[in-house]
Amino acid sequence: MVSIESLIVANYSLTLIIVGTVLNATTLLILSRPRFRNTRARPTLHYMRTMAILDTFMLYGWNLDHYLTTMQSFYILSYSLVSCKFVSFISYFAPQSSAWLRVFVSLDRYLSLSRLHRTWFSNSKHTLMIIACILVILFALNLHFFLFVCYYRKNGTISALSRLYDVYPLWDYVNLGVCNIVPFILMVIFNSGVIYHLIILRRTTTLQNPRIQHRAISITLVITTFLFLAMTMPSAIAFAFFSDANATLLKFFDSFLYSYYVLSFPLYMLTFPEFREECISIVGLKGWDRRIQPQTQVPLQTI
Query: Is the backbone of residue 2 left (phi > 0), alpha (psi -120 to 50) or beta?
Result: beta
Which residues contact residue 77 at a Cβ distance below 8 angstroms, ignoring those fewer than 6 apart? 65, 83, 84, 87, 88, 150, 158, 160
Peptide bond into 169 cis (omega under 30): yes
Please give the pLDDT value at position 301. Answer: 37
CA angle 171, 175, 177 (to 5 degrees): 120
Measured distance CA(28)–CA(89) in Å, rounded: 23
CB 301 within 8 A of CB 213: yes
CA 8 to chain CA centroid, nearest Å: 24
CA 77 to chain CA centroid, nearest Å: 23
Secondary structure of residue 149 in the 3-state scheme: strand
Query: Is the backbone of residue 23 left (phi > 0), alpha (psi -120 to 50) or beta?
Result: alpha
CB 54 within 8 A of CB 40: no
Please give the pLDDT value at position 232. Answer: 80
pTM of the entire predicted model: 0.81
**Alpha-helix residue ranges (DSSP H) falling in the chain:** 4-31, 44-58, 62-67, 81-114, 124-141, 144-147, 167-175, 182-202, 215-241, 247-259, 264-271, 273-282, 286-292
Spell out, as residue ranges, where the chain has pLDDT lower than 50. 205, 207-214, 287-303
Instruction: State which amino acid sits at residue 237.
Output: I
Secondary structure of residue 40 in the 3-state scheme: coil
Domains and CATH numbers, the chain: 4-283 (1.20.1070.10)
Please give the pLDDT value at position 281. Answer: 87
pLDDT in tens, 268-289: 888 788 888 888 888 775 544 4
- Dihedral angle sign, alpha carbons of residues 119, 210, 47, 239: positive
pLDDT above 70 covers what percent of the chain?
84
Please give the pLDDT value at position 217. Answer: 58
Neighbouring-strand partners of residue 159: 151
Please give the pLDDT value at position 216. Answer: 55
